[in-house]
Structure 1
């Protein structure tokens, strides 16, 4: 067969045909742009949120380094340094157990030496001044300077009160530089001094971690690899090459290590199944929605120009060339629509990424969405793929139709039917339902497209309604207010007698008009105060002088004692006060599910506690006491509201009346209380003012604090889900409009014939309106069925796996949308009929001749 170079001719035909259909072009560009908007928004949100979370978690973790080898001595550090190859290593050494300045009661302070690598990776490069060099030089962040009352001036004096190896010392420094406090980073005052200081105080910064677990004098070696792939494997290799191991804690040459949890890519192979499923479903929904609208637009175009394609066939144009004409048109429209969609989608992503991150652990971090090429590459590929798939069927129709068939093509599927005589077959309702059956595939696709947005909207509201405020708040605050020493809320250094809740503040609270009820929580502040007998204790668990595991024992007043979630047994306060019974708490995982594998006692078991009871305030004459109890109930551990926030496998609760005689240390850890309805804001103002001005070492948490976080998360769900539902719904409406337009265009001659035998314009209008109402009715039924199935079989188990969710069956959004659906179903055919039925009957009859 002779080849003819006719590509230029085909291209000219394609573009001239394109110019002749301006309205089609506009609609196609809008459809392609909308599809690209969805893809680009999804990629921008996905990449932006992952990158933002990674950046914020790096700051919260305190470093961008890939991994860390912890608590090693100088000799080990030098060995590892020799075996890192082309990787980078940074040295950090903690120089004190505590920074005792009063300024750090509400903001934990740490005293470190960092080398230049760790300063860079820790986001601590000085914005003003220099890195410390001299023995007495120090640098820190601006918030720490403000808390210490130090002016932002190079050379300003700073006195630090330190605890070093158990000894309290005061050291004087001068400010060498500072960096701006990162609002999204760790809320910790990091103070960094020089190598000269470390060398000058080497006698007190000796390594003793292996003996007493003191981190003072121990080195943390941060490692930066060439990339973030397989961080654990690279970390293991460096440790192994250095002659150590990090797998067997009881084995020879063991050293601790871990990867930086901000590097999500290191766990990509274990990506959460739910996250993967959501991503795949979102891509499929967008692709399907885009396919429907682009397919319908090009189908309408082909049907309108079917005579044109038939005439091309008569002059020798092949089916392949006709397909190429349509493909070139789609490609040209994509060149316009895709960039527009990318710009709009990217701007939407820029707007919403910070809002999403503000409701996550990245809140407070200044988010900058990077111009990542993957966003545009991914969106472009998926959009082009959707356009290509969408134009294949219209291209096949145009390519396969013969010149004779072209003049009478009506898109009616050829089906062998059995005909019967009837007197009601010409009724408008019967004709309308028959018309829907002409192209069952298109009818089904339109119904699915319209139902999809309603099901999605209903799912968004189900998720929003499923957020259980009581569950969320009970985790962080099971009473209206919780007060304690500021160090308690730092969660690192509750120290018993040195960090007690102020009884003066408690009395002031109880004297307030809105006060309802309250209760104290006691704890000695040192786990060594109590031990518990357990023959099956883990050999690696910390044990006391009597070779029994240490236990965390709390004394609770009636209010906090009665607010536990009971797993087994009952919290009978009267029985507990008899002194014969005790409550055992079982820790929970991140989803608040009890970790029964770590439970050591059950209801009815005997618990034997030993404790040191000091006789005098100098703690010289020590009396050891032993008490036996029966476990009356097992409960979920209240980590945030009824513990020292360290966590323990041996956590017990006693009534205050039973607990207080056991120990000389009667430290009030916290005080929980409720207020009368309507007094929450008034009490919040009082306690905020009291802890700021009258009792500056005290701090508090309230339900209002966490309520704001809860409402913010729910708003995020609604806003993001609402926008996605709106866009998918808009595409569904466009698909419905296209379906009606296709129906009218392909049946213009048919309508003219019906009118020629007496059918009126009103009857045609009524028939199309009924057709639209059938679409609406079908959408109602399908969306109701899909909505119920999605809610019960997908959303219910998904919400059941989330600790702050409680499934509630929701179907209202679907039902509420039905009246609007009916209005569209009637309005669209009326408007479309007016637009396409302006020509006379004769002109429309001649159109196919």
Structure 2
């Protein structure tokens, strides 16, 4: 007769639950730890990436990732149809406004998407709304303070001086109504303040939106800086050969690359987390349920149906799952909330506003963690119960995972090899449990090492430490000082005086000195075919331009040659090396059409004239000589060899030339930049001396001819907050994953020994001494330990090396470093843990006499 006593089933489930307190604690802890692991890892990573995103946005003033300048309405409509473009906005430069008597601010118009989606996220403390009427304007707080307004009110009148970009230099006095104001976080020394006006203002000033100055694009995060440009050029037809897309990584992608290097590494980290959580729960559930197979067999003998048996197991599992979810959820939410809102805001956002927009609680990740852990728990439970279902009642009551057969002749042997052999037999008796414990420990071990590899390799300190300790350079920009040529600045005028260079070299404690040298010249871009792509890119029509020629040594030329060969760049390095040609450097300024045109210029001539020739008739110009163009190279390529360039390379044409070629032109050699590496202990004193020398030079120089001093230690100090947060995030992940591995190993060993108590007592009863038993248990742990160490030292090293190579493709400054010290420390820690576990188990199994233990384990 079918037994369908539901009340009895629940009573049995409750009785088993109360009886198995140790099992319940272990499984509840495993569930809680898994919930905490999954939630905290995802939440901390997201919090860090959100913080990076917000920081990048505030530093940049917008979240736009790609631009198209001077775009037509047709192009705008075509881009809008592309499925990989998530946001598309319009930016129109309207004109300028006086901030004070000297400085100018920029007046812009943005469409709704441009402001709401692409610019607004970079601002803080936004009050009011974007202008809608023709007399309305939106201003930054720093601009309002320039007007003496410390307490702005929406709707207040502000008298401003405005001029349109087409109206020449004349400003118009006009009263404007403040529709809104905001706080920006860009560097005020570099970025002018921006005022926003309405579409109606544009109409009044008869300014057409199209062609638009900039189309602002935000692409899918799957596209990097190179792939987005390539795809857009395929899908959108350019108006002319000068027009080009300027691509960048999205801020989301950039924050991911800064933390992990690329999506592959991030995906592997997430996979490791999921596997670690699954192995922990599966192992604990599988072991705990299998320990009850004899009891379940007895229930089957008494008439319990398979459905009722499953219900008994399910009820117990649900109770433990509920407790584990509550504990793990509270622990994860509490720890992550404190870490994100406290640490990230305290270390990250000094001077960059607050972190209110960063979430401290992620519902989605908590639900994901609960869902994954719940499914894993029930999946593991069902697998274990199926074992019971397949056995008959009698087989279930006799079930044991371990064979009781013992090699007696080895027990009585005093040889250590026999004990080790017995330990190896015990370790590999159940391959599934053995593999799970080895895999879990190895994953945790490799994950802990991997987090340090990523932390050390992606540490921006690597990039900063490549810089010299001190760098001295000039603020000269030739296009800005043309009015001083040749009376105040000529071919013979030094940039950094030679006397100061010698004085710096003589300072005690300076270890190495690197000086960038070269000269300035006048060129005629309209006459030299080689310069045509560059001039088309900048829409330049001037008959005269200034050029910078920087001397590069043979070592750098060799590096450049390897770079050109590796990336198949069209440049004649041999021509440069022989002193017959120059290479033009540009900052990603060429469209695909112009890049094709560049392939035709190598070998064409470029004429150079001295500075005294600037502004003179052709008959009065003094020609220095000619050089062949050896090609163009983009300095923004992440793998471009490091070159200490002078600060005036952005707005003028910039060449590199060999020493031999420079001497052929007969130019006066100038010191552009001096970089110094110094004795660390004497750095503070050296800094004081160098500062005095620079200060003395600047006292004798005009404002346009000043020197700048860069201190790498100050740069590193300012980056420490960012570095600490990154290291904290990755270090936390490694510790948690290693803890999961150790917990899994503990559960495997401890629960395994529990099921072998009867076997161990029998072995003692037939002659195994206490010393041999202790040695056996320790040997079993050492077998686990040794296999893990070998796997991590071989397979783990290979995995981490491949991961490093993958990251290096994205981060040029990445340095692979296998943390051997941590490897040894963790090996020692794991060895101690395995020995302590064996000792603990040994002392537990020795409680009571052999007869008492035999009787207890047979019951």
TM-score (norm 1): 0.73
Question: Does the CA contact (< 8 Å) of 1:587 and 1:647 recur in 2?
Answer: no
User: Are 2:738 and 1:751 aligned?
Assistant: no
CA distance in 2, matches of 1:598, 1:838: 87
Closer, same or farther: CA 581–657 of 1 in aligned 2, 3 Å: closer
Closer, same or farther: CA 481–257 of 1 in aligned 2, 3 Å: closer
For residue 26 of structure 1, report the CA deviation from its aligned partner: 1.9
Consecutive unaligned residues in structure 1, runs of 5 or more: 211-217, 240-244
For residue 103 of structure 1, report the CA deviation from its aligned partner: 7.6
60-69 vs 296-305, which deviates more?
Answer: 60-69
Match of 1:317 in 2: 304
CA distance in 2, matches of 1:478, 1:552: 29
Question: Does the CA contact (< 8 Å) of 1:25 and 1:333 recur in 2?
Answer: yes
What secondary structure sits across from 2:303 in the alignment?
coil
Match of 2:12 in 1: 13
CA distance in 2, matches of 1:159, 1:506: 42
Match of 1:389 in 2: 379
What secondary structure sits across from 1:780 in the alignment?
helix
Alignment of 1:142-153 (within 5 A): 142-144=141-143, 148=146, 150-153=148-151
Question: Does the CA contact (< 8 Å) of 1:553 and 1:653 recur in 2?
Answer: no
Question: Does the CA contact (< 8 Å) of 2:221 and 2:250 recur in 1?
Answer: no
What secondary structure sits across from 2:193 in the alignment?
strand
CA distance in 2, matches of 1:576, 1:361: 50
Match of 2:426 in 1: 435
For residue 435 of structure 1, report the CA deviation from its aligned partner: 1.8
521-530 vs 119-128, which deviates more?
Answer: 521-530
Match of 1:608 in 2: 605
37-46 vs 108-117, which deviates more?
Answer: 108-117
Question: Does the CA contact (< 8 Å) of 1:162 and 1:169 recur in 2?
Answer: yes
2:401 to 387, 411, 426: 411
What secondary structure sits across from 1:767 in the alignment?
helix
For residue 411 of structure 1, report the CA deviation from its aligned partner: 0.7
Closer, same or farther: CA 100–328 of 1 in aligned 2, 3 Å: same
What secondary structure sits across from 1:412 in the alignment?
coil
CA distance in 2, matches of 1:701, 1:276: 35
Alignment of 1:41-60 (within 5 A): 41-49=40-48, 51-52=50-51, 55=54, 59=58
CA distance in 1, matches of 2:87, 2:239: 29
Alignment of 1:237-256 (within 5 A): 247-250=236-239
Question: Does the CA contact (< 8 Å) of 2:644 and 2:673 recur in 1?
Answer: no
Closer, same or farther: CA 471–723 of 1 in aligned 2, 3 Å: closer
CA distance in 2, matches of 1:302, 1:258: 60
CA-to-aligned-CA distance 1:450-482 (integer Å, 9 cap, x gap) = 22222223333334454598972488x567314
CA distance in 1, matches of 2:439, 2:390: 28
Closer, same or farther: CA 274–331 of 1 in aligned 2, 3 Å: farther
2:850 to 834, 838, 841: 841
CA distance in 2, matches of 1:782, 1:79: 56
Match of 2:32 in 1: 33
Question: Does the CA contact (< 8 Å) of 2:427 and 2:434 recur in 1?
Answer: yes
What secondary structure sits across from 1:609 in the alignment?
strand
CA distance in 1, matches of 2:144, 2:439: 61
Match of 2:627 in 1: 629
2:446 to 430, 439, 455: 455
CA distance in 2, matches of 1:587, 1:115: 32
For residue 730 of structure 1, report the CA deviation from its aligned partner: 1.6
CA-to-aligned-CA distance 1:2-61 (integer Å, 9 cap, x gap) = 976555543443233112222222221211111112211233245445555555555566
CA-to-aligned-CA distance 1:130-174 (integer Å, 9 cap, x gap) = 87799887653234456x474525579887697945944456677
CA distance in 1, matches of 2:285, 2:148: 70
Consecutive unaligned residues in structure 2, runs of 5 or more: 564-573, 634-639
User: Are 2:266 and 1:284 aligned?
Assistant: no
CA distance in 2, matches of 1:290, 1:96: 58
Match of 2:568 in 1: none
Match of 2:830 in 1: 821
CA distance in 1, matches of 2:679, 2:49: 41
CA distance in 2, matches of 1:302, 1:761: 31
Match of 1:22 in 2: 21
What secondary structure sits across from 1:192 in the alignment?
strand
Alignment of 1:542-553 (within 5 A): 553=547
756-765 vs 26-35, which deviates more?
Answer: 756-765
Match of 2:799 in 1: 790
Alignment of 1:615-654 (within 5 A): 623=621, 625=623, 627-629=625-627, 636=640, 641-642=645-646, 644=648, 646=650, 651-653=655-657
CA distance in 1, matches of 2:177, 2:660: 51
Question: Does the CA contact (< 8 Å) of 2:469 and 2:676 recur in 1?
Answer: yes
What secondary structure sits across from 1:369 in the alignment?
coil
CA distance in 1, matches of 2:166, 2:666: 30
Question: Does the CA contact (< 8 Å) of 1:48 and 1:353 recur in 2?
Answer: yes
What secondary structure sits across from 1:566 in the alignment?
helix
Closer, same or farther: CA 169–140 of 1 in aligned 2, 3 Å: same
Closer, same or farther: CA 829–331 of 1 in aligned 2, 3 Å: same
For residue 804 of structure 1, report the CA deviation from its aligned partner: 0.7
Question: Does the CA contact (< 8 Å) of 2:133 and 2:201 recur in 1?
Answer: no
673-682 vs 326-335, which deviates more?
Answer: 673-682
1:293 to 280, 301, 312: 280
What secondary structure sits across from 1:189 in the alignment?
coil
Match of 1:674 in 2: 676
Closer, same or farther: CA 330–585 of 1 in aligned 2, 3 Å: farther
CA distance in 2, matches of 1:518, 1:433: 62
TM-score (norm 2): 0.72
Alignment of 1:126-205 (within 5 A): 127=126, 139-144=138-143, 148=146, 150-154=148-152, 164-165=165-166, 167-169=168-170, 179-183=181-185, 188-192=191-195, 194=197, 198=201, 202=205
User: Are 2:563 and 1:554 aligned?
Assistant: no
CA distance in 1, matches of 2:29, 2:424: 31
CA distance in 1, matches of 2:650, 2:287: 67
User: Are 2:311 and 1:302 aligned?
Assistant: no
Match of 1:374 in 2: 364
CA distance in 2, matches of 1:843, 1:528: 104
Question: Does the CA contact (< 8 Å) of 2:35 and 2:325 recur in 1?
Answer: yes
CA distance in 1, matches of 2:622, 2:776: 94
User: Are 2:783 and 1:774 aligned?
Assistant: yes
Closer, same or farther: CA 201–833 of 1 in aligned 2, 3 Å: same
For residue 94 of structure 1, report the CA deviation from its aligned partner: 1.6
CA distance in 2, matches of 1:619, 1:158: 45
What secondary structure sits across from 2:106 in the alignment?
strand
CA distance in 2, matches of 1:758, 1:539: 94
Match of 2:559 in 1: 566
Match of 1:480 in 2: 470
Closer, same or farther: CA 745–519 of 1 in aligned 2, 3 Å: closer
Question: Does the CA contact (< 8 Å) of 1:41 and 1:346 recur in 2?
Answer: yes
CA distance in 1, matches of 2:560, 2:254: 37
130-139 vs 455-464, which deviates more?
Answer: 130-139
For residue 803 of structure 1, report the CA deviation from its aligned partner: 0.9
CA distance in 1, matches of 2:677, 2:87: 56
CA distance in 1, matches of 2:758, 2:408: 23
CA distance in 1, matches of 2:385, 2:539: 78
Question: Does the CA contact (< 8 Å) of 2:28 and 2:321 recur in 1?
Answer: yes
Question: Does the CA contact (< 8 Å) of 1:135 and 1:196 recur in 2?
Answer: yes
For residue 350 of structure 1, report the CA deviation from its aligned partner: 4.4
Instruction: Specify which structure has the higher proportion of helix.
Output: 2
What secondary structure sits across from 1:805 in the alignment?
coil
Alignment of 1:96-135 (within 5 A): 96=95, 109-114=105-110, 120-121=116-117, 122-123=119-120, 127=126
Closer, same or farther: CA 800–552 of 1 in aligned 2, 3 Å: farther
Number of residues of Structure 1 aligned to a counterpart in Structure 2? 796
Match of 1:444 in 2: 435
Closer, same or farther: CA 160–734 of 1 in aligned 2, 3 Å: same
